[in-house]
């Protein structure tokens, strides 16, 4: 039918269009509504992620920081932040939740349609604060802004603001009299809020920021927290003043059952084997009566604190602690005594059986031991020496203003054999020549010092040996060169004063060392004093001693240096602080040698007038090798004449010249 064909075509078309239209609308609506929802969801997810990341970044930053997040326009939502979760609620019942990882220690927060979020981290609280505004520090808006911490400003609203709990350290500086409870906590906030500490009040907080600071009031919470051996923060104002009484000039803290141990002396409290848990309190002028009788807690302010007394060993007890409470631990038996005389042990110098430590050399015979403990056998008998007690120095001889030579100037009473000071010197050295040599070699104060002022007036007076020895034994300074006189002519002297008086110069030292050797028992043939007149030793006096094989088996008389060197001569130079072999030194113009037995003059090539010759004593190298007739000695132009004393004695050959009758 013709009409029916047209109808079905149009209907088909219409139906097709309708279906297409419906499908299109459905699909588009589905797609776009889903997309719309999806768009919102992804926007809020992204926002949640951004805020969470910002919070974590802030928490992970050193120092104060603030970050601002601007919310895209047109978003309406509610933001809740609590317990590491960020919940964004939008629409009727849609929500997005993200978690962040850090501990923010603030909140919970709830914001409705925020435009901006400000995230602030403060170091003092170690917390992160979030607010729904732009980041700004406004000190006049009556709202506490943590941003002010970041900008180093004080926002007074933060002081004691319970809602935020922010500790602003700049307010503490600006308002020193105010107590900001936000800064006064049981953990470090960087601020010591001493105004928050009330006398006689407990608030449960012992602020670690106030540790060690004197603030005028004792925090009872710290006092309560650290009693009876418990150590921790020190409040130097504890115990409280109200607990202190004065009795017999000593301040005491009344007994309350707590021995406050917050403030300890960490050096003194090092555990020992005998006292593994001992604590020593700091000296604060107050004796804590609760500590006084404690075995393990020493309060140094308590006059009779048991624990403190245990620090030093008591009299007549064996000293195991480092001190003997004003007494001395005798090295012989380690018992603490006032002195060690009478304990039957002979405490000698180091190296001997009960040797004293270094520094006790001159004390032993006065304080800490005595001859009755040491027995007579240890002190050898002392033979008095020969009659010659003079020592020499050399003076220049001038003719018409020109120096033509030297002559010895003799001073009697200088050499002192068996003098009491010499014997004391040897007592301290165990009558052992090796100990004597140690002293000669030692640096001051053990060794000999040099009085530069004496050198100028060298020959006016030589000192008796005992005097020189005593002065050197008592010389405690480290200055080698000193001056006894205030007008010191020598700027090498590093000390000018009376302690220097008597220490002497080379000629004094030489007569002292000779006295020591002879008193010790070195035979007269083996020990002499001499003076290098013009040779390479530069007008210098010293002592020479022979490594005589006869001495090898005599105790205390054989120097270790002589081992393998029998018959060699030693040079003992107390001024130069050395002992060496004479042939190794440059001293070779020694006109005469002398000791308490007499003079020994030149023995080689004596001239016909019997008054001059060469300085070659027997057995001594001259000028380089062992040949006494070496030309070096012959070449010397020094008028090394035989001393007048010798000449008067009329000894023709001049080999040796001994005072008659000796």
Q: What is the dihedral of CA 549, 554, 559, 563, to 10 degrees?
A: 50
Query: Shortest approach of another protein to residue 574 CB, angstroms?
Result: 16
CA distance linking residue 273 with residue 600, whole number of Å: 65
Looking at beta carbons only, is 95 or 317 nearer to another protein? 95
Q: Is 629 among the residues that bind another protein (CB under 8 A)?
A: no
Query: Shortest approach of another protein to residue 56 CB, angstroms?
Result: 4
Binding marks (x or -) toward another protein, 47..66, rule CB under 8 A? --x--xx--xx-xxxxx---
Q: Is 443 among the residues that bind another protein (CB under 8 A)?
A: yes
CA distance linking residue 120 with residue 56, whole number of Å: 11
Looking at beta carbons only, is 249 or 400 nearer to another protein? 400
Q: What is the dihedral of CA 342, 344, 348, 353, to 10 degrees?
A: -160
What crossing angle do the helices spanning 465-473 and 420-428 adopt, rounded to 10°?
Answer: 40
Binding span for another protein by CB under 8 A among 327-335, 349-357, 488-496, 543-551: 488-496
**3-state SS, residue 158:** helix
Question: In this structure, are strands 116-122 and 65-70 parallel, antiparallel, or unpaired?
Answer: antiparallel
Q: Is 481 among the residues that bind another protein (CB under 8 A)?
A: yes
Helices (H) and strands (E) in the chain, counts: 14, 25
Query: Shortest approach of another protein to residue 612 CB, angstroms?
Result: 21
Q: Which of residues 185-214 bind another protein (CB under 8 A)?
A: 188, 190
Report the residue from 115, 200, 538, 626 that binds another protein according to the rule CB under 8 A: 538
CA distance linking residue 245 with residue 223, whole number of Å: 18
Which ranges of 138-286 does DSSP label H, i.e. alpha helix? 147-150, 169-174, 220-225
Binding marks (x or -) toward another protein, 492..531, rule CB under 8 A? xxx-------------------------------------
Q: Is 247 among the residues that bind another protein (CB under 8 A)?
A: no
Which residue, 579, 589, 604, 491, is CA-closest to 534?
589
Query: Shortest approach of another protein to residue 490 CB, angstroms?
Result: 8
Instruction: Tell me the CA distances in angstroms from 539 to 408, 506, 524, 581, one per residue in order.
Output: 11, 10, 24, 18
Looking at beta carbons only, is 17 or 323 nearer to another protein? 17
Q: Is 453 among the residues that bind another protein (CB under 8 A)?
A: no
Residue 90 host element (H or E): strand 85-90
Could you tell me if 128 and 118 are in contact, meaning their C-beta atoms sit under 8 angstroms apart? no
Looking at beta carbons only, is 217 or 533 nearer to another protein? 533
Binding span for another protein by CB under 8 A among 93-101, 253-261, 357-365, 371-379: 93-101
Looking at beta carbons only, is 63 or 326 nearer to another protein? 63
Report the residue from 396, 550, 609, 644 that binds another protein according to the rule CB under 8 A: 396
Report the residue from 401, 564, 652, 661 that binds another protein according to the rule CB under 8 A: 401
Looking at beta carbons only, is 492 or 525 nearer to another protein? 492
Looking at beta carbons only, is 80 or 339 nearer to another protein? 80
Rg of the chain over all Cα atoms, to the nearest angstrom: 49
Query: Shortest approach of another protein to residue 339 CB, angstroms?
Result: 34
Looking at beta carbons only, is 99 or 655 nearer to another protein? 99
* Side-chain-facing half-sphere of 334: CA atoms under 13 Å: 5
CA distance linking residue 429 with residue 442, whole number of Å: 13
Query: Shortest approach of another protein to residue 535 CB, angstroms?
Result: 8
Query: Shortest approach of another protein to residue 408 CB, angstroms?
Result: 18
Report the residue from 74, 76, 83, 652 that binds another protein according to the rule CB under 8 A: 83
Cα separation of the two ends of the chain: 182
Which residue, 115, 80, 110, 75, is CA-closest to 91?
75
Q: Is 11 among the residues that bind another protein (CB under 8 A)?
A: no
Binding marks (x or -) toward another protein, 547..586, rule CB under 8 A? ---------------------------------------x
Q: Which of residues 583-612 bind another protein (CB under 8 A)?
A: 586, 588
70-108 exposure pattern, b = at least 16 Cβ within 10 A, e = fewer: ebeeeeebebbbeebebbbbbeeeeebebebeeebebee
Q: Is 123 among the residues that bind another protein (CB under 8 A)?
A: yes
* Side-chain-facing half-sphere of 389: CA atoms under 13 Å: 15
Binding span for another protein by CB under 8 A among 329-337, 524-532, 533-541, 543-551: 533-541
**3-state SS, residue 285:** coil
Binding span for another protein by CB under 8 A among 110-118, 387-395, 490-498, 646-654: 490-498
CA distance linking residue 547 with residue 615, whole number of Å: 21
629-639 exposure pattern, b = at least 16 Cβ within 10 A, e = fewer: ebebbeebeeb
Q: Which of residues 15-44 bind another protein (CB under 8 A)?
A: 16, 19-20, 23-24, 27, 30-31, 34-35, 38, 42
Query: Shortest approach of another protein to residue 18 CB, angstroms?
Result: 11
Query: Shortest approach of another protein to residue 198 CB, angstroms?
Result: 26
Query: Shortest approach of another protein to residue 168 CB, angstroms?
Result: 15
CA distance linking residue 302 with residue 228, whole number of Å: 16
Footprint on this chain of another protein (rule: CB under 8 A): 5, 9, 12-13, 16, 19-20, 23-24, 27, 30-31, 34-35, 38, 42, 45, 49, 52-53, 56-57, 59-63, 82-85, 98-103, 108, 123, 126, 188, 190, 396, 398, 401-403, 443, 478, 481, 491-494, 535-536, 538, 586, 588, 623-624, 631-632
């Amino acid at each position: 039918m013709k009409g029916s064909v047209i109808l079905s075509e149009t209907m088909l078309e219409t139906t097709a269009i309708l279906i297409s239209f419906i499908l299109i609308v459905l699909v588009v609506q589905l797609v776009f509504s889903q997309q719309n929802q999806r768009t919102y969801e992804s926007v809020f997810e992204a926002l949640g992620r951004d805020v969470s990341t910002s919070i974590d970044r802030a928490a992970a930053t050193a120092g104060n920081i603030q970050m601002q997040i601007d919310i895209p326009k047109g978003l309406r939502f509610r933001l809740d932040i609590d317990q590491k979760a960020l919940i964004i609620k939008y629409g009727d019942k849609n929500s997005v939740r993200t978690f962040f990882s850090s501990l923010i220690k603030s909140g919970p927060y709830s914001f409705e349609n925020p435009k901006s979020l400000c995230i602030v981290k403060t170091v003092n609280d170690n917390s992160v604060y979030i607010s729904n505004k732009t980041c700004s520090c406004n000190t006049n808006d009556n709202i506490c802004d943590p941003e002010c911490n970041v900008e180093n400003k004080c926002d007074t609203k933060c002081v004691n603001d319970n809602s935020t709990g922010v500790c602003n350290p700049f307010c503490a500086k600006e308002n020193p009299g105010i107590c900001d409870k936000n800064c006064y906590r049981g953990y470090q906030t960087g601020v010591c809020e001493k105004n928050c500490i009330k006398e006689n009040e407990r608030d449960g907080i012992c602020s670690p920021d106030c540790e060690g600071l004197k603030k005028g009031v004792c925090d009872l919470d710290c006092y309560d927290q650290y009693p009876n051996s418990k150590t921790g923060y020190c409040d130097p104002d504890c115990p409280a003043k109200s607990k202190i009484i004065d009795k017999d000039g000593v301040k005491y803290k009344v007994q309350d059952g707590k021995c406050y141990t917050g403030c300890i002396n960490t050096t003194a409290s090092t555990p020992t084997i005998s006292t593994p848990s001992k604590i020593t309190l700091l000296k604060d002028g107050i004796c804590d009566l609760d500590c006084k009788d404690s075995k393990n807690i020493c309060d140094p302010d308590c006059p009779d604190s048991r624990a403190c007394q245990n620090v030093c060993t008591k009299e007549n007890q064996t000293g195991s602690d480092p001190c003997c409470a004003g007494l001395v631990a005798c090295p012989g038996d380690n018992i603490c005594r006032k002195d060690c005389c009478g304990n039957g042990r002979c405490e000698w110098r180091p190296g001997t059986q009960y040797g004293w430590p270094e520094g006790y050399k001159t004390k032993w015979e006065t304080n800490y031991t005595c001859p009755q403990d040491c027995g007579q056998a240890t002190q050898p008998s002392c033979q008095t020496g020969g009659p010659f007690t003079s020592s020499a120095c050399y003076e220049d001889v001038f003719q018409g203003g020109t120096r033509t030579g030297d002559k010895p100037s003799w001073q009697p009473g200088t050499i002192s054999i068996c003098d009491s000071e010499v014997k004391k010197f040897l007592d301290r050295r165990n009558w052992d020549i090796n100990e004597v040599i140690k002293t000669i070699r030692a640096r001051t104060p053990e060794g000999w010092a040099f009085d530069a002022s004496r050198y100028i007036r060298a020959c006016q007076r030589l000192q008796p040996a005992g005097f020189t020895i005593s002065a050197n034994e008592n010389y405690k300074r480290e200055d080698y060169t000193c001056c006894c006189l205030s007008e010191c002519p020598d700027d090498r002297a590093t000390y000018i004063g009376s302690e220097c008086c008597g220490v002497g110069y080379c000629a004094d030292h030489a007569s002292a060392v000779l006295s020591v050797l002879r008193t010790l028992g070195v035979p007269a043939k083996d020990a002499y004093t001499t003076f290098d007149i013009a040779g390479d030793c530069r007008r210098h006096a010293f002592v020479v001693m022979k490594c005589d094989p006869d001495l090898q088996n005599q105790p205390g008389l054989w120097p270790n240096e002589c081992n393998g060197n029998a018959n060699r001569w030693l040079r003992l130079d107390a001024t130069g602080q050395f002992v060496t072999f004479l042939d190794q030194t440059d001293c070779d113009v020694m006109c005469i040698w002398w000791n308490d037995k007499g003079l020994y003059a030149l023995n080689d090539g004596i001239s016909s007038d019997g008054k001059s010759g060469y300085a070659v004593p027997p057995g001594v190298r001259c000028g380089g090798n062992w040949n006494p007739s070496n030309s070096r000695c012959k070449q010397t132009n020094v008028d090394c004449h035989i001393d007048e004393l010798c000449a008067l004695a009329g000894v023709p050959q001049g080999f040796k010249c001994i005072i008659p009758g000796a």
